[in-house]
Amino acid sequence: MSQQEPSGAPERHGMPVLGLGTWENDDAEQCAESVRTALETGYRHIDTAQIYRNEAAVGDGIAAADVDREEIFLATKVWIDELGGDDVVDSAEASLERLGVDSVDLLYVHWPADAYDPEETLPAFETLYDDGRVDRIGVSNFEPRHIETARETIDAPIFANQVEVHPLLQQEELREYCDDVDVELVAYSPLARGEVFEAPELQEIAERHGVSEAQVSLAWLREKGITAIPKATGADHIEDNWASLGLELDETDVAEIDAIDREARQVHPDFAPREW
């Protein structure tokens, strides 16, 4: 057994490496309660997006929790039809109002699609950054070529790239690139929308340690220096994911997961980068 009681999530450059994802958590009461539960469990990283239609509920959960706002790393994302010039600033201000905060710790470009134009979109993000309404600029679903263009377009640093990554979609080339250019990698759908529970390699490791496959997946991501934001609504899943911080995988565990040769991508909309 290599399971210990987690005392808190470690951080990378001020961002806790385990957060709560809120995608599809669109029942306002349930969403607010899951955010409150997560924060009072120990989470300090909450992730949402304009397109999730739950920013107000996330804000309600933050307000209800017995945790100071200054302790919370809060991230949201600007949707693809709001990425043109002035739209970015207006939509970001609307997000802040819905969340009930003066600023967010991280604001992402949700996809390099639709109204996204590096020359218009990114300077608007930089304006929000310079004005203190956004502490960090992020991108999501960007390939290396998109990140390279973004880094060349503005002076403010690109802090993070949020993408789908998990043991069944390991994104080795993208991981290496982001590491080389000092861009944090944040994993959405880190449990492959439940598919990790059916992976025999993960089942075996989970059995050895007496933990869930979810905990194994999250511990592997942490081992790789990747921040994970698993979606969870019920207290049991919120607590199980949190317990992954107490799991230390050994070299054999990591090697077995590294050897999984599958690409079970779960998210692939029509507007995704062509390389997908």
Cα–Cα separations (whole angstroms), residue 13 to 36, 136, 221 = 24, 11, 17
**Mapping DSSP to helix (H, G, I), strand (E, B) and coil, where does residue 235 land?**
helix
Q: Are strands 15-16 and 11-12 parallel, antiparallel or unpaired?
A: antiparallel
> Residue type for 51, please?
I
Report strand pairing: 158-164 vs 73-78.
unpaired
Please confirm, yes or no, whether 43 is among the known catalytic residues.
Answer: no
As to burial, measured by CB atoms within 10 angstroms (0-12 exposed, 13-18 middle, 19+ buried), residue 221 is buried
Q: How many CB atoms lie within 10 A of CB 238?
A: 23
Return d(Cα 143, Cα 161) in angstroms, integer: 9
Catalytic-role residue among 52, 108, 129, 188: 52
Q: Are 20 and 43 in contact (CB under 8 A)?
A: yes
Chain position carrying tokens 């043109």:
84
Q: Exposed, middle or buried: residue 103 (CB in 10 Å: 0-12, 13-18, 19+)?
A: middle
Rounded distance between C-alpha atoms, residue 241 and residue 245, angstroms: 8
Residues designated catalytic = 52
